[in-house]
Chain A
Amino acid sequence: MGSPNQPVDALLQDYLHRNERLRRFAWVFTAIPLALFVLLSVLAAREGREYLRLSEEIRQQTIRLQELQKKNDVQQLAIKFVQQQSPGERPKVVVYRLAVAGQVTDALKTLGYDVEERVKQANPALADKPVDTLSYGCSVRDQDIRTVATALTNAGIPIRRIVPAERNPDPNLIQVISSGITEETQNPLSISEISTWTRSSRPCQGQQPPGY
């Protein structure tokens, strides 16, 4: 700060120094906030980009969820329909081939049937023969057999024969097997044939049916 008796030249020099300092301050106090602003903008933009990506993902997941809900509704309807057609206890479905286990499960789970895999009990002699036969226990209802056969046919597993069970004593069991008796040349049952199929053997009458 200058004194009251300073000559004009000294005051002028003081003023010029102040002016230079002011200019430097103007540069510094603009450059630093500007740099910070740019840095924070870049960081915020990155977060914004991530937010947009996640928003898009949420939108896609929501669409997928809606599709799954629709599919689920259809499956629930199918289960309800099957339950109405064949009220009471459902037969268990057993599959012995690992290769088709997934297909069978997918086709029948949606209809409310329990599918059990018994891969270890598969007959090694028929390992090369494709699954083509349904074997049913004596207390399995015809409607359940028709439903299972139709579902398997629609899932790409052709059924050539539907026969009463001979070895497994469980009366409420449907087995998806490859039978040595079923000819590979035999035509698979069509959907219309399956829909009109009825068993030839009698249902259980409180005792084991013949053949057990």
Chain B
Amino acid sequence: MPCDCTGTIQTLIDADKKYVATCCWIYGIVLTVSVALTVCLSVFVIKNNNLTSLSGLLANGLVFPLVPKHLQRARALTVMEGLMRECGRHAAEDPPCKRIADAVDAMLRSITGAV
């Protein structure tokens, strides 16, 4: 039987995956809108002026504030998946399980500010 903290880690992995998926959705939507805007500007409005018609691509800059958090969550996800694999290799009463559970607890307290 795996460690007791497996459920907690799985919940954290799911939450992080959800956040990363949200970021990916936002990137996709912003990219689509910027491309559509660029095409509309270059085809229908500003003809014969490539530099101005490409201004629609500037919309991609709106996602820059999301990138650091996205990368942070992606790294955390990798760590959590590592812990999950580690949990699967030990029995519930093994000492490493206790250490993993403490680490997860400490991490949660750190994130939520309950130190």
CB contacts (< 8 Å) of B65 on chain A: these are: 29
Asked whether B79 is an interface residue with its Cβ less than 8 Å from the other chain, the reply is no
Asked whether A49 is an interface residue with its Cβ less than 8 Å from the other chain, the reply is yes
A33 lies within 8 A of B62 (CB): yes
CB contacts (< 8 Å) of A23 on chain B: these are: 18-19, 22
B59 lies within 8 A of A37 (CB): yes
Count residues of A near B (Cβ-Cβ below 8 Å).
30
Asked whether B55 is an interface residue with its Cβ less than 8 Å from the other chain, the reply is yes
Q: Given A12-B8, A22-B19, A38-B33, A30 and B112 touching (CB < 8 A)? A: no
Asked whether B68 is an interface residue with its Cβ less than 8 Å from the other chain, the reply is no
CB contacts (< 8 Å) of A3 on chain B: these are: 114
Q: Mark A17-42, 1 if CB is under 8 A from B, else 0.
A: 01100110011011001100110010
Asked whether B15 is an interface residue with its Cβ less than 8 Å from the other chain, the reply is yes
Contact of A4 among B41, B52, B109 (CB under 8 A): B109
Q: Is the interface of A mostly helix, strand, loop or mixed?
A: helix
Contact of B112 among A11, A26, A33, A49 (CB under 8 A): A11
Asked whether B80 is an interface residue with its Cβ less than 8 Å from the other chain, the reply is no
Q: Is the interface of B mostly helix, strand, loop or mixed?
A: helix
Q: Given A6-B114, A38-B59, A52-B46, A12 and B26 touching (CB < 8 A)? A: no
Q: What is the minimal beta-carbon distance from B59 to any residue of chain A, in angstroms?
A: 5
Q: Given A26-B23, A30-B30, A15 and B112 touching (CB < 8 A)? A: yes
Q: What is the minimal beta-carbon distance from B28 to any residue of chain A, in angstroms?
A: 11
Count residues of B near A (Cβ-Cβ below 8 Å).
39
Asked whether A210 is an interface residue with its Cβ less than 8 Å from the other chain, the reply is no
B112 lies within 8 A of A37 (CB): no
Contact of B108 among A11, A30, A33 (CB under 8 A): A11
Asked whether B35 is an interface residue with its Cβ less than 8 Å from the other chain, the reply is no
* CA gap between A16 and B12 in the complex, in Å: 8
A19 lies within 8 A of B59 (CB): no
Q: Mark B48-67, 1 if CB is under 8 A from A, else 0.
A: 01001001101100110110
Asked whether A68 is an interface residue with its Cβ less than 8 Å from the other chain, the reply is no
Asked whether B1 is an interface residue with its Cβ less than 8 Å from the other chain, the reply is no
CB contacts (< 8 Å) of A48 on chain B: these are: 45-46, 49, 52
A38 lies within 8 A of B46 (CB): no
CB contacts (< 8 Å) of A22 on chain B: these are: 19, 69
A15 lies within 8 A of B111 (CB): yes
A30 lies within 8 A of B26 (CB): yes
Contact of A15 among B12, B30, B33 (CB under 8 A): B12
A-B residue pairs in contact (CB < 8 Å), sample of 30: A1-B112, A1-B113, A1-B114, A2-B109, A2-B114, A4-B109, A11-B105, A11-B108, A11-B109, A12-B8, A14-B112, A15-B12, A15-B15, A16-B15, A22-B19, A22-B69, A23-B19, A23-B22, A27-B26, A30-B26, A30-B62, A30-B63, A34-B30, A34-B62, A38-B33, A44-B55, A45-B46, A48-B52, A52-B47, A52-B49
Residues of A within 8 A of B (CB): 1-4, 6, 8, 11-12, 14-16, 18-19, 22-23, 26-27, 29-30, 33-34, 37-38, 41, 44-46, 48-49, 52
